[in-house]
C-alpha cells in the first residue's frame, strides 16, 4: 500500500524541517523550473508531468508521486497537448503526461493570440483539467477544420462534435 492510499495522506504535515510549498513552477509552454532553473533531466521532466494533481481540500495544484507531495505554481495550465493523431476519424490528443484521450470540441476555446485551450481528464481524480495545445499540436488540426462561414473563424469537427473557433 502506497502512503497516498491512506485517507489522511494529504493532511499529514510536511516532514520535519520541510514545507509543502515548493519553488517548482510549470511555465506557459509546459516547461518545469526549480528555483528559476529549467528542469533538464528528461526522465525527471517526464515524471513531473505525470505527478500533477489537485489537493483534495483546497484545489491547489500539487505534485505527488504517491509517497510524498508538494504544492507548485502553474503559470497557465497544468496540461499541454503535445501532438494529435487521427484514429478512425477521431482526433486523439497526446498529453504532456503521456496519456491520450479524444478531443471534445465543445470544450475548446481560443485566447486573443489564437492559442487553443480545452478541458481534459474529465474522469480523472480532481478533473477536469485545463490544457493548452502546443503550436505543433495546433498545426496538426488541419484534417478537423472546416470554413466557419459568414461568422468567420473555423469549425472544429470530430466524431465527438462540432465547435466554432473564432478568428483571433
pLDDT tens for residues 139-166? Answer: 999 999 988 776 677 889 999 888 888 6
d(CA 33, CA 53) in angstroms, rounded, equals 17
H helices present in 52-99, as ranges: none
- Please state the pTM of the whole predicted model: 0.91
Q: Mean of the per-residue pLDDT values for the chain?
A: 92
Within the chain, what is the greatest distance between any pair of CA atoms? 63
- Residue 123 sits in the same domain as residue 51: no
Scanning the structure block, which residue is given the C-alpha cell 508531468?
A: 49
pLDDT at residue 6 greater than cutoff 80: yes
pLDDT value of position 1: 76
Cell numbers for 131, please give them: 490544457
- Residue 86 sits in the same domain as residue 156: yes
pLDDT value of position 89: 82
- Residue 50 sits in the same domain as residue 88: no
Q: What angle do CA 124, 38, 116 make, to 5 degrees?
A: 45
Cell numbers for 104, please give them: 471534445
pLDDT band of residue 15 (cuts 50, 70, 90) is: confident
Q: Which residues contact 37 (CB under 8 A, 6 or more apart)?
A: none
If we measure between CA atoms, which residue out of 77, 72, 76, 74 comes closest to residue 62? 72
- Residue 98 sits in the same domain as residue 144: yes
pLDDT value of position 168: 58
pLDDT at residue 31 greater than cutoff 70: yes
Domain that holds residue 128: 79-165
By the 8 A CB rule, do 69 and 79 touch? Answer: no
More confident residue, 14 or 99: 99
- DSSP bridge pairs for 33: 25, 38
- Residue 16 sits in the same domain as residue 64: yes
If we measure between CA atoms, which residue out of 17, 41, 39 comes closest to residue 30? 39
For residue range 61-77, list pLDDT tens digits in order: 999 999 999 999 999 99
pLDDT at residue 167 greater than cutoff 70: no
pLDDT band of residue 25 (cuts 50, 70, 90) is: very high
d(CA 57, CA 54) in angstroms, rounded, equals 9
- Provide the domain count of the chain: 2
Amino acid at each position: 500500500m502506497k502512503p497516498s492510499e491512506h485517507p489522511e495522506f494529504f493532511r499529514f504535515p510536511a516532514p520535519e524541517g520541510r514545507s509543502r510549498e515548493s519553488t517548482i513552477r510549470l511555465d506557459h509552454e509546459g516547461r518545469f523550473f526549480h528555483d528559476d532553473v529549467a528542469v533538464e533531466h528528461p526522465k525527471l521532466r517526464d515524471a513531473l508531468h505525470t505527478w500533477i494533481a489537485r489537493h483534495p481540500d483546497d484545489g491547489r495544484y500539487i505534485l505527488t508521486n504517491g509517497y510524498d507531495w508538494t504544492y507548485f505554481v502553474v503559470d497557465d495550465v497544468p496540461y499541454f497537448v503535445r501532438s494529435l493523431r487521427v484514429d478512425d476519424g477521431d482526433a486523439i490528443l497526446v498529453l504532456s503526461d503521456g496519456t491520450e484521450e479524444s478531443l471534445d470540441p465543445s470544450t475548446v476555446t481560443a485566447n486573443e493570440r489564437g492559442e487553443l485551450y480545452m478541458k481534459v481528464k474529465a474522469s480523472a481524480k480532481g478533473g477536469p483539467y485545463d490544457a493548452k495545445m502546443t503550436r505543433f499540436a495546433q498545426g496538426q488540426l488541419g484534417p478537423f477544420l472546416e470554413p466557419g462561414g459568414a461568422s468567420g473563424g473555423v469549425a472544429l469537427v470530430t466524431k465527438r462534435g462540432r465547435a466554432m473557433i473564432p478568428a483571433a
